[in-house]
Structure 1
């Protein structure tokens, strides 16, 4: 114990120096974190004022935060006497090993860059990708945030999105509703077709151009199937879809045209 006290007394100036340097490094780190957050928010707000896509703004702001934070760490290390030049070289050498170990994360980052460059979707678009569907909320450095119609949040790795097909339901202004309506073989097909057309003619949200299609598509096992294919504005797709299904059922019932259940005829033969 006495030896330790003597060593502290002999090196008090050096200890004080390193303690002060350490405290200053911590202060630099804390201030740097606030500055990184400030510039990240500033970037996002400036992009919003210029009406740049919110998803792109979020991606760029994350990169700004990461760069400022990295610079802050280097400044803090320099303050405690660590040679940053050699430290950067060590980081570069270690980066290769870390990169091999984190191939998935690097793939997500590269995919995020491709999303920003290629712009297959933007914030607010309803997409289907990687087996999931939802509205795009944000594009982060490594992942994209989707929100489902029932208000669940899905965090999808960017590589999962760019690694397969992307279906963007919001890019085009119009969409076609595809319905298959089956009627009984005993029904009058001309009458059934007129009933279906009447329902479509009474739906104000349908577009006149392109015109809708009502046609017999299949003589199925239990029914004669009609395809009903009207066009609507993308924003009206689901309300119109639900209304048509309901109104078609009501109209067919009123015309005494049945929609048959799946059925099978069984023939018995006696010897």
Structure 2
């Protein structure tokens, strides 16, 4: 069939056909490399995290970070390999990307600052996964730290994504860092009640709760004289995990013990005088 074509056209086909076949083969090879590279990147992320699981006390937040980092590196090399199949000089491409990266970096200073902040958070470790913190103006339990963001979960299990630069650039309050915390409860009693009896009731309730630590020693004292009450401050130490349960239970138990012991908790009373009409 080709013999019936004009000689000029046959010559062009003879020249173009190998190029088309080579280009098609390169395209198929590039697609296979891309598919295998993406698959391998995902597998390497899983293998990295699985290997880090075998290291005792290795933080879950770091496992996710390093797994994601390995995945991105493999994807980057995969893209370079795909471009090389199309004849792109990867060495010069890397140089061009470096120059372009500098320009893009200047334009995306906010995004790069998130990456830098994420690295600083990983180095100095002000919190770990599972810690309850106040950071970037919000509070929640730390779930994950990525290159760009920190993921928190509020007590009602709402997801909050905070840019790393906001977390690193503002004060961080870590409520879970220390193993023990101090619970402070302020309760007012009437001026006519026996202060010593009220303090003894509180001391008895503290002693009956095993969650209250003996050391540091609990403190009970008169904090202030209010408008309608004598305010007694109670401070006890407990394990961090018991902070809120103990605070809620102790407040209720002291109130019930005061009721049983005849100690009253006053509430503001207003006396209104009205002018008598003439």
TM-score, normalised via structure 2 length: 0.88
Q: Secondary structure at the match of 2:49?
A: helix
* 2:253 aligned partner: 247
Q: Secondary structure at the match of 2:206?
A: helix
* 1:59 aligned partner: 65
* 1:184 aligned partner: 190
For the structure 1 residues 263 and 15, does the alpha-carbon distance in structure 2 shift closer, same or farther, using more than 3 Å as the test?
farther
Q: Give, in whole Å, the separation in 2 of the partners of 1:263 and 1:139.
A: 52
The partner residue of 1:33 within 30, 38, 44 is 38
Q: Give, in whole Å, the separation in 2 of the partners of 1:265 and 1:105.
A: 61
What are the ranges of 5 or more consecutive residues in structure 2 without an aligned counterpart? 1-8
Q: Higher Cα Rg: structure 1 or 2?
A: 2
Alpha-carbon deviation of 1:265? 5.1
Q: Give, in whole Å, the separation in 1 of the partners of 2:245 and 2:108.
A: 45
Within the alignment, does 1:262 sit opposite 2:268 as a pair? yes
Deviations 1:195-244 (A, max 9, x none): 22222121121100111111111112232111110111112212211110
Q: Secondary structure at the match of 1:177?
A: strand
Within the alignment, does 1:15 sit opposite 2:20 as a pair? yes
* 1:221 aligned partner: 227
Q: Give, in whole Å, the separation in 1 of the partners of 2:224 and 2:70.
A: 58
Q: Give, in whole Å, the separation in 2 of the partners of 1:99 and 1:183.
A: 63
* 1:82 aligned partner: 88
Q: Secondary structure at the match of 1:77?
A: helix
Deviations 1:71-103 (A, max 9, x none): 111111011111111211221111122112222
Q: Give, in whole Å, the separation in 1 of the partners of 2:159 and 2:202.
A: 39
1:142-181 to 2 correspondences below 5 Å: 142-181=148-187
What are the ranges of 5 or more consecutive residues in structure 1 without an aligned counterpart? 1-5
Comparing 145-154 with 49-58, greater Cα deviation is found at 145-154
* 2:55 aligned partner: 50
For the structure 1 residues 269 and 213, does the alpha-carbon distance in structure 2 shift closer, same or farther, using more than 3 Å as the test?
farther
Q: Secondary structure at the match of 2:65?
A: helix
Q: Give, in whole Å, the separation in 2 of the partners of 1:58 and 1:265.
A: 63
Equivalenced residues, count:
265
Alpha-carbon deviation of 1:181? 0.7
1:95-114 to 2 correspondences below 5 Å: 95-114=101-120
Deviations 1:123-180 (A, max 9, x none): 2222221122222222211112222332222222211211111111222111100111
TM-score, normalised via structure 1 length: 0.90
Q: Give, in whole Å, the separation in 1 of the partners of 2:261 and 2:275.
A: 37
For the structure 1 residues 23 and 251, does the alpha-carbon distance in structure 2 shift closer, same or farther, using more than 3 Å as the test?
same
* 1:3 aligned partner: none
Q: Give, in whole Å, the separation in 2 of the partners of 1:167 and 1:16.
A: 63
Q: Give, in whole Å, the separation in 1 of the partners of 2:268 and 2:114.
A: 47
The partner residue of 1:231 within 226, 231, 237 is 237
